[in-house]
Amino acid sequence: MKEIFIHSISYTAEHLIFMYTLVLAGFSAFLALFGLIEVRNYLKRSRFEDHQAILSSPFTPRISLIVPMYNEGQTIIDSVRSLLSLQYNNYEVLVINDGSSDESLNKLIQHFQLVPTYLESNYQLPTKKVGNIYKSRHKVFNKLVVIDKANGGKADALNAGLNHAQGDLVATMDADSIISPDALLKMVKPFLQSQERVIATGSIVRIANSCTIEDGSLVDVQLPTSLLARFQALEYIRVFLLSRLGWSRLNGLLIISGAFGLFDREIAMKAGGYYTKTVGEDMELTIRMRRYMHDHDLPYKVVYIPDPLCWTEAPTSLSQLSRQRNRWARGTAETLIKHRGLFFNPKYKLMGLLSYPYWLCFEYLAPFVETIGLAYFVVLAITGQVQWAHFIFFLVIVYLFAVLLSLVALIAEEFSYHKYRNKSDIAKLIITAFLEPVIYHPIVLVNALKGNVDLFIGKKSWGEMKRKGFTKDHQTLPKKVRG
């Protein structure tokens, strides 16, 4: 009986883990291939795109850019100033002050000479109480609307923005992100070009650490000097350039990054806006909008474009990174649990049959499978049952595959946007690719597990991330972001 039990456990574990690894590797390779094709096609098409025509056209859709703000006093003036000078002719900037306890709102009022309007508040999507709605006295700032509301979290602030947005499209971003001047111009393209209705677009997000920022705009791109930030720079290149674009080609995307995304306002509103009881509101909204389209039998697309349009500051300390990854893991778990009805549900076509199962099995469950595998290995090692030659063989294969995937992403980056121009940068990134699986991956793994534990014990908070900020007060010279 004991033998049967040990055999059964051993046999099942070996085969399951082996098959899981094989399928995951296959999926990763498949997505990478699709991602590369998508990048190539996009760049080819871009050669014939005349943005001047859009800039001066009276037919461009109006975009409302929603910027939730919570204690962003350090950077908000520069951020808003840069947002007011984006290259697009028909947009408004809605800054939502989510009950900041610092000087953020006062700084905005003083700098942009804001005064309250008599507009009533809109609660079509339920939100915390909205106070004043401000506009500037100066015509030069007439694109700016500032909405002051009680603190309710990022999703609540975004909902307040959705309620007051006048545009057909709404762009959402983090107040501490930096977007390129042509970001709206490029993000709106899929909405204009596609024969099918596009409900959301996202762009590549990159790491701004060590880059030079001037007046809220990125002026010089540098590879992060901090190793932790550099790991994330590589991770972002790989995830966005290969995986997200691969899913975009399949029309199977389940997430548009909260750092910067553009949505069809009508569908976002009809789908119910942002869900305030999750910390993964960006993924949750994307899925709910997709579900809405399926439920109403409407053809649609969710698109990612490979242009690196958004730059964000990556955590440079382990504690910050830990909080961020913990939150991401909880957000993913909450969203997947909430939408569990999608799992292998043919009604939702590719989303139900492929995207959801993939996210569940390979994004959410991966840390658990990996932990089980490690625990199984430890037991075998303690009982002296490890065949070391086989173990080393598989370990090296998996390691090499992970490194290879990063190298493919670096090649894609080199042939597409090659933002890191210093010759030494590519060598540094290759070294980072070799170090990542052994140094960075375990950190991410542990925090993903901690996130699930926190979810289980009912922790709901975002976990504050102290930003170093892109610029400091009274600073006129270009500033390098540390890290």
In the bound complex, what is the minimum distance in angstroms from residue 47's beta carbon to another protein?
Answer: 7
In the bound complex, what is the minimum distance in angstroms from residue 405's beta carbon to another protein?
Answer: 11
- 6 makes contact with another protein (CB under 8 A): yes
CB closer to another protein, 3 vs 297: 3
Contact region with another protein (CB under 8 A), list: 204-212, 309-317, 377-385, 473-481: 377-385
CA-to-CA distance for 306 and 37, rounded, in angstroms? 11
In the bound complex, what is the minimum distance in angstroms from residue 114's beta carbon to another protein?
Answer: 8
Contact region with another protein (CB under 8 A), list: 243-251, 286-294, 408-416, 435-443: 408-416
Side-by-side strand order, sheet with 212-214: 217-220, 212-214, 479-480
Please name every residue paired with 298 in a beta bridge, in sequence order, or none if there are none.
none
User: How many residues contact another protein, by CB under 8 A?
Assistant: 67
Cβ pair 135, 157 in contact under 8 A: no
Residue-wise DSSP of 7-28: HHHHHHHHHHHHHHHHHHHHHH
CB closer to another protein, 387 vs 476: 387
- 52 makes contact with another protein (CB under 8 A): yes
Contact region with another protein (CB under 8 A), list: 330-338, 355-363, 407-415, 445-453: 407-415
Cβ pair 303, 201 in contact under 8 A: yes
DSSP 140: G
Contact region with another protein (CB under 8 A), list: 209-217, 422-430, 439-447, 453-461: 422-430
Choosing from 227, 250, 353, 386, the residue that interacts with another protein (CB under 8 A) is 386
- 141 makes contact with another protein (CB under 8 A): no
CA distances to 21, 50, 122, 150, 316 from 73, in Å: 46, 38, 26, 17, 21
In the bound complex, what is the minimum distance in angstroms from residue 163's beta carbon to another protein?
Answer: 7
Choosing from 101, 390, 424, 476, the residue that interacts with another protein (CB under 8 A) is 390
Choosing from 404, 443, 445, 449, the residue that interacts with another protein (CB under 8 A) is 404
CA distances to 107, 215, 220, 476 from 473, in Å: 11, 11, 20, 9
In the bound complex, what is the minimum distance in angstroms from residue 11's beta carbon to another protein?
Answer: 5
**Residue window 111-140: x/- pattern of binding to another protein, with contact defined by CB under 8 A:** ----xxxxxx-x-x----------x-x---
Please name every residue paired with 197 in a beta bridge, in sequence order, or none if there are none.
300
CA-to-CA distance for 364 and 189, rounded, in angstroms? 32
- 60 makes contact with another protein (CB under 8 A): yes
Location of structure tokens 């014990």: 457
CB closer to another protein, 39 vs 54: 54
> What's the one-letter identity of residue 335?
T
- 59 makes contact with another protein (CB under 8 A): yes
SS3 403: helix
- 466 makes contact with another protein (CB under 8 A): no
Contact region with another protein (CB under 8 A), list: 45-53, 219-227, 280-288, 309-317: 45-53
Choosing from 31, 145, 204, 481, the residue that interacts with another protein (CB under 8 A) is 145
Please name every residue paired with 260 in a beta bridge, in sequence order, or none if there are none.
173
Token readout for 376 is 């199984």
CB closer to another protein, 164 vs 330: 164
SS3 454: helix
CB closer to another protein, 135 vs 479: 135
Residue-wise DSSP of 235-269: HHHHIIIIIIHHHHHHT------TTEEEEEHHHHH
- 239 makes contact with another protein (CB under 8 A): no
Token readout for 229 is 């930030």
Side-by-side strand order, sheet with 114-116: 114-116, 130-136, 144-149, 91-98, 63-69, 169-173, 260-264, 197-207, 300-312, 178-179
- 1 makes contact with another protein (CB under 8 A): no
Give the residues lining the site for another protein (CB under 8 A).
3-4, 6-8, 10-11, 14-15, 18, 44-45, 47-48, 50, 52-54, 56-61, 115-120, 122, 124, 135, 137, 145, 163, 189, 191-195, 380, 383-387, 389-390, 393, 396-397, 400-401, 403-404, 407, 410-411, 414-415, 418, 423, 426-427, 430
